Amino acid sequence: MMETYIYRVIVISPYYIYLLAISIGFQESCDIIVKSILVRFMGIQSVLYYYCYNVLKYIRSFCDFMKPIKTSLHFPWFAKILYYIGRRKYAVLLVSFLLLIFGNTFTEDYKIFGIVNIYQNLLTGLIVFYNKKWLRFIIFSIIISSVTLDLFAESFSFIEGKSWHGVLYLIFFSLVVKEVYIEVLYVKTVSAEMLSAALCGFVLLCQISTFLFYMIDLYNPHSFSNTGEGSNILVNLNYFSFTTLLTIGFGDITPLSLVAKRAVMLIGILGHFYTVFVTGIIIGKYLTASKS
């Protein structure tokens, strides 16, 4: 008991003192003083607590900043945009995905236009799901992380930078897939919005498979034949993903390594399941609506 009491007095108390200090406007000067005291008298463990406290404080400030109620009060036009998009969110999301796929069709500068297309897709996802607090926070974090990777690309190796980009985009697409599939499953009537959500689900599956194939080729080069070099690799693998899921199979690009072959098999199974599953749901809902 005595050790616990001493620990609370010596280690925990400075944080409450620090909190009181910053509440009356002395944060900058107290930062230096508190940090020096912690390092000199209380060891590295307290320093870690100090930094963890600051991280949590900034996260809380960020969450408060992102509250839609405050945004709507300060920017009435933004509330109108959210209301309009909320009624047609999957149609808007579908347009964004079509721009992501076909936006760089008439240019050879795939790198620049690819970056523009992926950011418009991320921003569209942020706006479409803005009213869902946890999803809004994650998508915004993905955008900030992606921008940081682009700005400090020289600090990372090629594989390391591309890998983190791939992971971020996979997380984004997976989160959006969850929302899309919930819409398809639980909506009661067949509408243009539901059909847009169903098509978004297929496009998202293609995008997930694209980055999955890209990560495989990144860590094991030449896992796929005829993918080109540089930014052409991602473009060609995106084309290969669509031809695989659409069961076209021209044969111009083929998996070579064992991991690539297994990944293509997995995506093919998921593609067939999605097509049959969603078609059955849509027909079932249509027949139910017709009978009622």
pLDDT in tens, 38-55: 555 455 555 555 555 565
- Is residue 17 located within the same domain as residue 116? no
Return the H-helix or E-strand segment holding 196. Answer: helix 192-219
Contact residues for 85 (Cβ-Cβ < 8 A; gap 6+): 92, 127, 128
* Predicted TM-score of the model (pTM): 0.68
255 phi and psi, to 5 degrees? -75, 140
Question: What tokens were used for 216?
Answer: 């495989």
- Is residue 174 located within the same domain as residue 123? yes
Mean pLDDT along residues 99-104:
86
- Is residue 221 located within the same domain as residue 112? yes
Residue 45 structural domain: 2-65
pLDDT in tens, 144-179: 988 888 887 677 666 666 788 888 898 999 899 888
Q: Residue 249 and residue 254: Cα distance in Å, rounded?
A: 9
- Is residue 38 located within the same domain as residue 95? no
- pLDDT value at position 5? 43
- pLDDT value at position 213? 94
Q: Is 14:34 a contact under the CB 8 Å cutoff? A: yes
Among residues 65, 95, 117, the one where a domain terminates is 65
Determine, yes or no, domain membership for 71: no
- pLDDT value at position 71? 46
Determine, yes or no, domain membership for 20: yes
User: Got the DSSP string for 93-129?
Assistant: HHHHHHHHHHTTTT-S-HHHHHHHHHHHHHHHHHHHT
Question: What tokens were used for 27?
Answer: 């944060």
- Is residue 38 located within the same domain as residue 84? no
- Is residue 178 located within the same domain as residue 47? no
CA atoms within 13 A on the CB side of 169: 29
- pLDDT value at position 183? 83
- pLDDT value at position 96? 92
Determine, yes or no, domain membership for 72: no
Q: What's the DSSP call for residue 224?
A: B
Q: What is the CATH number of the domain that holds 167?
A: 1.10.287.70
Among residues 42, 65, 88, the one where a domain terminates is 65
Q: Residue 59 and residue 57: Cα distance in Å, rounded?
A: 5
Among residues 10, 42, 65, the one where a domain terminates is 65
Identity at 274, one-letter amino acid code? Y
The owner of tokens 């791939």 is 166
- pLDDT value at position 33? 55
Domain tally, the chain = 2
- Is residue 37 located within the same domain as residue 95? no
